[in-house]
Amino acid sequence: MASTGLQLLGLVLAVLGWVFGALVCAAPLWRVSAFVGGELVIAQVLWEGLWMNCLSQTTGQIQCKTYDSTLALPTSAQAARGLTVLSLLLCLLALILGVAGAKCTHCMGDANQASKARLARIAGVLYLVAGLAYLIPICWTAYTIIRDFYDPNIAAPLKRELGPALYLGWGACVLLLVGGALLHVGSSPPGGRTLPVFGGAAKDNPHTGAAGEGKQQEKSFV
């Protein structure tokens, strides 16, 4: 029962990480305008994401526009797109395998517990790989933002700050990693190898028992 609880907890945490990761991937809040020039009046705020950028004005009006060309984006942005989409697809595959291999489901029948445990462990590994793949673009984007922010050669209007999507992305990565680890640990194979017990081995071997009784009888006659 304890392993079943770990398995369900890991699957729930991993699914939550997958949902948060999908929201982060679609949100245009990876980069936010940094106001370091001492402006007292902020008229516009620029939000940048993987797929679009949005311009928010003080009047409350928000205008969003998708990027015109994927090839015109920097290489880091293209790599971030690819890694995040790959991570989400791995999570989808892991979810299918995890549900099929869960101990509380009957997708593969109750008599095939070893195969179900193997599928659940593979799902846990896929969630771990997905979490690491999602962590790379999040950390790389944060690194470039911080590097450009402290670079004196970059003008103040071009500086950016860490957007709220990055913090949510770190949380999604933690959920994927913890959920995958719990799912893998909770999906131990049914049964286990028992250590040989000498008393039990003697009982299972009738010839050994008969020989022992014969020796005891010989000793009694002597």
Domain positions in the chain: 1-40+74-187
197, pLDDT greater than 50: no
pTM: 0.78
Output 151 or 206, whichever has higher pLDDT. Answer: 151
Tell me how crowded residue 187 is: count the other CB atoms within 10 A of its CB.
Answer: 26
2: pLDDT confidence band, cut at 50, 70 and 90?
low
Which pLDDT does position 157 carry in this prediction? 77
Considering only CA atoms, which of 62, 35, 67, 31 is closest in space to residue 47?
31
Q: Which pair of tokens denotes residue 167?
A: 């913090």
Could you confirm whether domain 1-40+74-187 is CATH 3.40.50.2300? no
Place of tokens 């984007």: 141
Please say if the pLDDT value at position 3 is more than 70: yes
- Per residue in 126-176, pLDDT (tens digit) is 999 999 999 999 999 999 999 988 888 888 778 889 999 999 999 999 999
Question: Is-contact 166 47, C-beta < 8 A?
Answer: no
| The predicted structure's pLDDT at residue 116 | 83
The pLDDT, as a whole number, for residue 89 is 96
Query: CB of 135 within 8 A of CB of 178?
Result: no
Mean pLDDT on 177-185: 93
- Pick the residue with more confidence: 74 or 41? 74
**Is the pLDDT confidence value at 54 over 80?**
yes
Chain centre to alpha carbon of residue 40: 42
pLDDT at 39: 53
Residue 210 is predicted with a pLDDT of 45
Question: Using CA atoms, how far apart are residues 178 and 159, in angstroms rounded to an integer?
Answer: 34
- Mean per-residue pLDDT, 182-186: 89
Contact 135, 157 (CB under 8 A): no
For 182, the 3-state DSSP assignment is: helix
The rounded mean pLDDT for the chain is 80
Residue 103: predicted pLDDT: 79
Say if residue 57's pLDDT is above 70. yes
Confidence band of 111 (pLDDT split at 50, 70, 90): low
d(CA 26, CA 30): 10
pLDDT for the residue 151: 85
